[in-house]
Amino acid sequence: MLVSATVLAEADPDHCGLSADSCPDSAGADRGTGPSDHWPTVTNAGACKLEHCSREMASCLLDPECLELLSCPSSCAGDSFVAGLCAFECGEAGLRSETFLAMMSCWGSHRCQEARPQAGGPCAALSIDEGDPRITSLDIISGEWWVVRAWNCEGSGILFASCQHWNIQPGTTTVNFSLAGPRGPVAKMIRQRQSLVYPGVVRGLYDETNAAMSNLPQLEDYHIIDTDEAMEKLLIIWCHGQPEMSLNGALVLSRSASDDDISPETLRRFNTAISNHGYDPEAFCSLDNSQCQ
């Protein structure tokens, strides 16, 4: 680990993670293209937490609600996708506890992780600033969108939620979706603080206002690499960095709820771009939004 990277992360956790500044990764090599690929890791996560977050951890030990929230995910049966609703609601509950949120945010901001696996492989963006140069403002893509098609579906976790509907507004994006529940789909919502960090590259920041995720901070970059002529279909390489792992994939956002109206010409161009980014254009999943609210 580079000493300079460690010192910067500890003195100012936002130095690398929440800006477009260039920083080395934990191994000292050039970082990948994901928004958190440069975040340092530590040799001993427990020692890191005690060194930087002992006050927050002591407060949690004295708070029965905080201790209950800490063990909440272990009560969710099955893996994270089978028990997705349970795990998601654990996160929602965690954000309602100031004690729990302070501890989780402290762990995350000090990068108290020994490893940060990339379950879906590395971010497929060719560079940190790869994006459509025509998109110079969030106003250009503001409004309502649906996720209609995706690649690297299993590895990226995109199928964790169905009915993914985005409302992009300058500064904040709201995402409504459904999770499988014991008696049918359950509607949920998250919020991101968004900014255009490069032309065609939208960065989403999950903070304490996001309504669901208490393992903070989290960053998600959306590289808009192509569009149809009317700019009603956006081809996106997306890379999501969390304190404990990174999830990467690709998707199509559409003004309509289906991908049936993608023109043959646009589809050929999208497939070529997807292939150039390392994904099999035929290995996609379609999201059925026909029953969504």
| pLDDT tens digits along 154-198 | 999 999 899 999 999 989 999 999 998 888 889 999 999 999 999
Q: Which of 71, 69, 231, 204 is nearest to 135 (CA)?
A: 231
Residues recorded for the chain: 293
Instruction: Note whether residue 133 is domain-resident.
Output: no
Same domain, 248 and 162: yes
| Per-residue pLDDT at 80 exceeds 60 | no
Contact between residue 80 and residue 72 where contact means Cβ atoms under 8 Å apart: no
Q: What's the whole-number average pLDDT of the chain?
A: 88
Q: Tokens 């965690």 label which residue?
A: 94
Task: Name, in order, each residue with C-beta under 8 angstroms of 216's C-beta and a sequence gap of 6 or more.
Answer: 101, 104, 105, 108, 109, 206, 207, 208, 243
Confidence of residue 37 (pLDDT cuts 50, 70, 90): very high
Q: Which pLDDT tens digit goes with each residue over 41-74?
A: 999 999 999 999 999 999 999 999 999 999 998 8
Instruction: Note whether residue 291 is domain-resident.
Output: no
Task: Name, in order, each residue with C-beta under 8 angstroms of 222's C-beta and a sequence gap of 6 or more.
Answer: 201, 202, 203, 204, 236, 237, 238
B/e letters for 152-161, b = 16+ CB within 10 Å, e = fewer, are: bbeebbbebb
Number of domains composing the chain: 2
The range of the structural domain enclosing residue 30 comes to 3-109
Read off the CATH number of the domain in which 204 is found.
2.40.128.20
Same domain, 158 and 212: yes
Same domain, 24 and 163: no
Is the pTM here over 0.75, yes or no?
yes
Contact between residue 211 and residue 190 where contact means Cβ atoms under 8 Å apart: yes
Instruction: Note whether residue 105 is domain-resident.
Output: yes
Instruction: Note whether residue 121 is domain-resident.
Output: no
Same domain, 101 and 182: no
Q: Which two tokens stand for residue 77?
A: 């049966």
Same domain, 22 and 86: yes
Last residue of one domain, picked from the residues 109, 128, 147: 109
Give strand pairing partners of 109.
none
Instruction: Note whether residue 117 is domain-resident.
Output: no
Quote the pLDDT of residue 83: 65
Q: Which pLDDT tens digit goes with each residue over 215-237?
A: 999 999 999 999 999 999 999 99
- DSSP assignment string, 82-141: TTHHHHHHHHHHHHT-HHHHHHHHHHHHTT--S---BTT-S---SSTT-S-TT--SGGGG
Same domain, 64 and 14: yes
Residue type at position 80: S
Same domain, 88 and 149: no
Instruction: Note whether residue 119 is domain-resident.
Output: no
Quote the pLDDT of residue 142: 97
